[in-house]
Amino acid sequence: MIEFDPERERFIALFATKLKELRNNPYAQRDIRELERFAGRCLDAVKQAVDGDRTKLERFVQESALNRGKEGFKAWHVMQGFDAFRDTAKMVRWSDCESFVKLDDVLHWASNTYVRVYEELLTERGLVRMVESLTLALEAKEKYTSSHSQSVQKISENIAGVLGVNIGLAGLFHDIGKINVPDSVLTKAGPLTEEEWALIKQHPYHSFRIMSPIYPEAASIVLRHHERPDGRGYPLGETVIPVEANVVSAADTLHAICSNRSYRRHEKLDFALEQIREKKGTQFLPEVVTALEKTYGDMAGFLTELSTE
C-alpha cells in the first residue's frame, strides 16, 4: 500500500493549480490531472537535486524540453512554470531558509539547463543527441533493460537483411516514448492495472512524436511496432502492418523473452522462437517469422548470450 503524504499532495495540488492559472501559457490548456502528474514528477526531481543529486532533474529537464517544444511551448512558458514552482515552495514554507536557498539555486540551474537544451533542440544534430541520451537514461532504470534497444536493433537488421527491407534506426529508438511512462509502472514487479496498461500502450505514439522531426521513416515504424495483423495491437489497431514494423516487433519479442524482466526470469532461445512461430499470422507476418528462422543460425552466438544474461 502506498503511504499517503499530505504535505506532498498539498504541494502538488497548489503547483498544478498555479500552472493551470498561468495566463497566455499552454500549461493553462492542460487537464488538471495531467498537471498534477507533471507536478509530482517535478517535485520528486527537484527534491533529489536539493539533496545533492541532479541526475533525475537533468533528465526531467531534457524530457520537458523535448516534449514541450513539440507542443507549442516557448522557453519563457517553461520559465513561468519554474517561477510557479518557486512561488508554491514559498506558500508551503519549504523547509528552512538554508534549504530554500538550495532550492533557488537548483531552480536557477534547471532554468539555465532548459534554455541550453531548448536551443540545442532547434538543430537536427541536437535532436539526435538528445534522443540518444534519453534512450540511455531509459535503459539505466533497471538492469534487465540494459542494451535492450541495441539488441533489438541488431536482431531487426538481421531479419530485415533477409527480407531486403530497411528499418533505419527504428530498432534502436522503438521504446524512446517510454520516457513518458512513470518509472513506477515501467519497473513494477506485479501485474499492471488497467490505467497503468493504458499508459504503456501509448508509448509507440510518444516514440513517433519524438522521432518524427529526426527520422520520419523510422518514426512510422516505431509507431506501429506493437500493431498486429489480427488487429489486436496498439495504439492504432491496424490490420495492414508494414513489414518493417513487424520486423521490429519480432525482434523486440525475441529479446524480451530471452531477457530477465522485473516480473520474471528469462526463457530459453528455443522457447522464444517457438512462441513466435505459434503467433504466425496473428501477431507476426508469416514472412517475418520465416526470415527470423533463417537468421537463427547466423545469430546463434549473439542470441545465446541473450538467453544467459
User: So what's the pLDDT on residue 200?
Assistant: 92
261 has which bridge partners?
Answer: 264
CB 278 within 8 A of CB 287: no
265 pLDDT tier (thresholds 50, 70, 90): very low
Q: What are the pLDDT digits (tens) for 95-116?
A: 555 677 888 899 999 988 888 8
Of 20 and 272, which is predicted with more confidence?
20
CB 202 within 8 A of CB 180: yes
Residue 304 one-letter amino acid:
T
**Is the Cα torsion angle 107, 33, 28, 205 positive or negative in sign?**
positive
- Taking the C-alpha atoms of residue 35 and residue 40, their distance in angstroms, rounded to an integer, is 9
Across 239-258, average pLDDT: 92
Q: Residue ranges of the domains in the chain?
A: 6-122, 141-307
Q: Which three cell numbers stand for residue 49?
A: 537535486
Residue 295 has pLDDT above 60, yes or no: yes
Grouping H, G, I as helix, E, B as strand and the rest as coil, residue 261 is: strand
Residue 280, phi then psi, degrees to nearest 5: -65, 130
Q: What are the pLDDT digits (tens) for 140-158?
A: 665 445 478 888 888 999 9
Neighbours of 13 (CB within 10 A): 15
- Domain 141-307 sits in CATH at 1.10.3210.10
Q: Which of 166-175, 205-214, 226-235 has the lowest mean pLDDT?
A: 205-214
- CA angle (159, 161, 164) in 5-degree steps: 115
User: So what's the pLDDT on residue 309?
Assistant: 47
The separation between CA 180 and the C-alpha centre of its own chain, rounded to angstroms, equals 5
pTM, entire model = 0.63
- Taking the C-alpha atoms of residue 14 and residue 27, their distance in angstroms, rounded to an integer, is 14
Class of domain 6-122 (CATH, top level) = mainly alpha
